Amino acid sequence: MTSKTVLTKRLSRDALTTPHTGSVAKGRRNTLLRWGLYAILILFALFYLMPLFVMLTTSLKSLEEIRTGSLLALPRDITFAPWAEAWSTACAGTQCEGLRPFFWNSVLMAVPAVAISTVIGALNGYVFAQWRFPGANLFFAAILFGCFIPFQVVLLPMAQMLGLMGLAGTIPGLIFVHVIYGIGFTTLFFRNYYVTIPQELVRAAKVDGAGFFRIFWSIFLPISLPIITVSVIWQFTQIWNDFLFGVSFSGAGSQPVTVALNNIVNSTTGVKAYNVDMASAIIAALPTLLVYVVAGKYFIRGLTAGSVKG
Amino acid sequence: MPILQIDHLQKSYGDTQILHDINISIEEGDFLVLVGPSGCGKSTLLNCIAGLEPITGGAVRIAGRDVTGVSPKDRDIAMVFQSYALYPTMSVARNITFGMKVRGVDKVTQDRKLTEVARQLQIEPLLNRKPGQLSGGQRQRVAMGRALVRDPKLFLFDEPLSNLDAKLRVSMRTEIKKLHQDLNASIVYVTHDQIEAMTLATRIVVMKGGVIQQIGTPAEIYNRPANMFVADFMGSPAMNLIPARVRSEAGQTRIEIDRAGDAPLVITDPVSRDLPAQIVLGVRPEDIHEATGNAHLPGTAEGAGGEVMIDIVEPAGADTFAVTHLGGKPVTARLRAESAVRARAPFPLAFDLSKVSYFSPKDGVRLN
Ligand SMILES: Nc1ncnc2c1ncn2[C@@H]1O[C@H](COP(=O)(O)OP(=O)(O)OP(=O)(O)O)[C@@H](O)[C@H]1O
Ligand SMILES: [Mg+2]
């Protein structure tokens, strides 16, 4: 989405700065180019929206209609029964209570994990950006390195550690894993945001008598809304959508919605209920969609806040 | 008891030493100005006084108390930063009262001081605005207000006027001077603007490369610079530094200055003794006068020897600057506006020898 707006912006700027002198042909070429660009963009948009369209329509069809009709056709009789089933009665493995309990597991896992990793990232970033200490660069490099470690590498040691801490197979265990894994990213976000804030601000506050937490609370937190949004969206998307940690570290009562979705879709008993599968998938994806819609504007703004002045 | 005393202060970043053996002592009510070229360590020294940078050696005393290891908040100082460093999300009023709030001053006192300072700085209408909605001069006042409500032992200013345009700078300069006189505050003030230094200071410290070159009153610094660096740095246009030879003749000191296309100019100095054979003569543009027949200034160049060829004439309203060549260097004289000086014509000039400085050409140190 960003690259799209940037491209169109640049194009229109080119059009504006084109000199008037003898450029009817040039102007026509620009218009052509613009239309060509729109055509391509619309094509891509359709391409990306196609699966969503199929999911949505399929989830509203009865099984009978799915079997007889075309994949791309609109539903003849709209039915919400698959949604109800997905939410409260579909079988994930042997448990037939729908997505609902797992959905709440995910909420109970994601909300604290997002909050904790954001708070820790903010404090870390504040220290790295404004309270340089000996070896800070090395620490920061190590934390950055943490962003690039693939999930699979940490699975076994993490399982061992959760076992040692007595958190194996519990929601707090999952929260712990996601917080640890998220700190690298959140620290990076906040550090890069705070590093653009002049050091003299901290110095002024120190002379005014404020200490470490006071300065953070009174001066840094109030200017952090854009980057908090970035951190929350990023972390929420990561944690809510995570499957690998969820499937590896959860127990019977603590599986997140992604794992449950997998189990519903892969349940082998009876006929394949495509409509229920689709409804489940949409339900599982809704919260991240919601977060984007609500805060997406700030997300883009926050990501570019450091690089673009004003 | 000195309000600020710095003993043998050293400051290094890693292996690079930034400040070398700094010794400064000022009394209550002094306005000390630190000047020097960019990168000479002025801000670093100020930060060391504030406790924002740890020092590598020596000691800092404020009002007699050794504060070397003490944190900034416990040094009883207030500081105005070059970028003003106003808290962006707080209103002007909250910016000013933040320090008092942190220190647990009661609300009534906070409000009283805020009103007082706002009136003094004429920022009453701005109290509810955010720093982003203020002009440069207004921000500067708020930054000042934040320091003034504190009533500290020592004020520290780091180039507070450098972000302002020329006109505002002059008016703020006057206001700072007035504040100093009204409050009898002790101030350490950093600038690299030598006019600011001359007009504001009761004492000036000239620094170069982390070494103090001279400490003195503005008059001392201006009239008796300790070395050629200070002579060149302070004053605009700068002091003329003219290479010259010294001859002792019949107990008198004669100074010879090469002149383009003529015999050397010879000046007799009746006072100075024991100068080395080679010197650099320093004379301010305003201490070179038109040599008139009846005015017998002590340094009037002898006879026709006072005629020099003028290269350029620059009228500047109240004065006229005439540039000539002496000792192989361009030399500027500040003459009266109505002077009859013409470019590319000879003109009689005289040096006021009571005001000249002699420097050693080797190390630049003052000789007289
Ligand atoms: N954190 C630092 N690490 C290493 N060197 C530093 C650091 N801060 C400053 N310096 C160096 O110390 C020297 C003095 O810097 P300082 O900021 O005190 O100069 P200044 O006299 O205030 O200059 P200006 O007039 O440009 O503000 C400079 O050479 C600078 O490069
Ligand atoms: Mg500086």
> Do the Cβ atoms of B103 and A209 come within 8 Å?
yes
Ligand 1 atom 4: the closest Cα is on which residue? B13
Sheet hosting strand B4-13, strand order edge to edge: B16-26, B4-13, B57-62, B65-66
DSSP assignment of B49-104 equals: HHTSS--SEEEEEETTEE-TT--GGGS-EEEE-TT----TTS-HHHHHHHHHHHTT
Under 8 Å between Cβ of B299 and B357: no
**pLDDT > 70 fraction of chain B, expressed in percent and rounded:** 96
What atom in ligand 1 is closest to the CA of residue B37?
A: 25
Q: Measured between alpha carbons, how far is residue B189 from residues A22, B85, B158, B194 in Å?
A: 61, 17, 6, 12
CB-closest option in A203, A207, A219 to B87: A219
Mean pLDDT of B246-257: 84
Superfamily name with CATH number, domain B4-233: P-loop containing nucleotide triphosphate hydrolases (3.40.50.300)
The predicted model scores a pTM of 0.79
Tokens of B295: 């005015």
- ipTM of the predicted assembly exceeds 0.85: no
Counted across chains A and B, CB pairs separated by less than 8 A come out at 58
pLDDT 10s digits, B259-310: 877 788 888 877 777 889 999 999 999 998 887 754 444 454 443 347 888 9
Ligand 1 atom 9: the closest Cα is on which residue? B44
Q: Which residues of B touch A226 (CB under 8 A)?
A: none
Q: Which residues of A touch B87 (CB under 8 A)?
A: 201, 204-205, 218-219
Output the pLDDT for position A306: 44
CB-closest option in B73, B86, B89 to A206: B73
Nearest listed ligand to the Cα of residue B34:
1
Output the pLDDT for position A15: 44
Q: Which residues of A touch B86 (CB under 8 A)?
A: 204
> B153 CB near a chain A CB, below 8 Å?
no
Q: Measured between alpha carbons, how far is residue A104 from residues A172, A201, A253, A254, A287 in Å?
A: 14, 43, 11, 9, 12
CB-closest option in A198, A200, A209 to B99: A209
Q: Is B190 helix (H, G, I), strand (E, B) or coil?
A: strand
> Do the Cβ atoms of A204 and B102 come within 8 Å?
no
Output the pLDDT for position B260: 77
The domains of chain B are located at 4-233, 240-359
Q: Is B277 helix (H, G, I), strand (E, B) or coil?
A: coil
> B83 CB near a chain A CB, below 8 Å?
yes
CB-closest option in B78, B79, B85 to A198: B85
What atom in ligand 1 is closest to the CA of residue B42?
A: 21
Mutate to test the interface with A, among B53, B79, B91, B155 (most CBs of A within 10 A): B79
Q: State the 10-residue block means of pLDDT for chain A, 310 residues long.
A: 42 45 72 93 94 92 86 86 90 84 94 97 95 90 89 90 92 94 94 91 93 94 90 93 92 90 81 88 92 79 49
What atom in ligand 1 is closest to the CA of residue B44?
A: 18
Amino acid at A79: T
The class level of CATH for A3-18+85-307 reads mainly alpha
> B87 CB near a chain A CB, below 8 Å?
yes
What atom in ligand 1 is closest to the CA of residue B46?
A: 18
Kindly identify which residue of chain B lies nearest to residue A199, measuring between CA atoms. B85
> Do the Cβ atoms of A218 and B72 come within 8 Å?
no
> B105 CB near a chain A CB, below 8 Å?
no
- Please report which helix (H) or strand (E) contains residue B167, including its range: helix B166-183
Cα(B96) to centroid of ligand 2, in Å? 24
Q: Name which of B3, B40, B2, B1 is nearest B22 in CA terms.
A: B40
Per-residue pLDDT at B120 exceeds 70:
yes
Q: Measured between alpha carbons, how far is residue A148 from residues A241, A273, B47, B246 in Å?
A: 18, 38, 39, 75
Nearest listed ligand to the Cα of residue B38:
1
The neighbouring-strand residues paired with B4 are B26, B62
Say how far apart CA A26 and CA B90 lie, in whole Å. 52
Cα(B205) to centroid of ligand 2, in Å? 15
Mean pLDDT of B178-198: 90
pLDDT band at B219 (very low <50, low <70, confident <90, very high): very high
> B77 CB near a chain A CB, below 8 Å?
yes
Q: Which residues of A touch B88 (CB under 8 A)?
A: 201, 223
Say how far apart CA B164 and CA A85 lie, in whole Å. 70
Per-residue pLDDT at B118 exceeds 90:
yes
The domains of chain A are located at 3-18+85-307
Based on the number of CB atoms within 10 Å of its own CB, is B254 exposed (0-12), middle (13-18) or buried (19 or more)? Answer: middle
> Do the Cβ atoms of A198 and B83 come within 8 Å?
yes
Cα(A15) to centroid of ligand 2, in Å? 45
Average pLDDT over chain B reads 89
What are A293-302's contacts with CB under 8 Å, separation 24+? A295/A229, A295/A232, A295/A233, A296/A233, A298/A225, A298/A226, A298/A229, A298/A230, A299/A229, A299/A230, A299/A233, A300/A1, A300/A2, A301/A226, A302/A193, A302/A226, A302/A227, A302/A228, A302/A229, A302/A230
Nearest listed ligand to the Cα of residue B45:
1
Lowest mean pLDDT among A298-302, B75-79, B108-112, B119-123: A298-302
**pLDDT > 90 fraction of chain B, expressed in percent and rounded:** 62
Cα(B163) to centroid of ligand 1, in Å? 18
Cα(B39) to centroid of ligand 2, in Å? 7
Ligand 1 first shell, C-beta below 6 A: B 13, 18, 36, 38-44, 192
Under 8 Å between Cβ of A239 and A113: yes
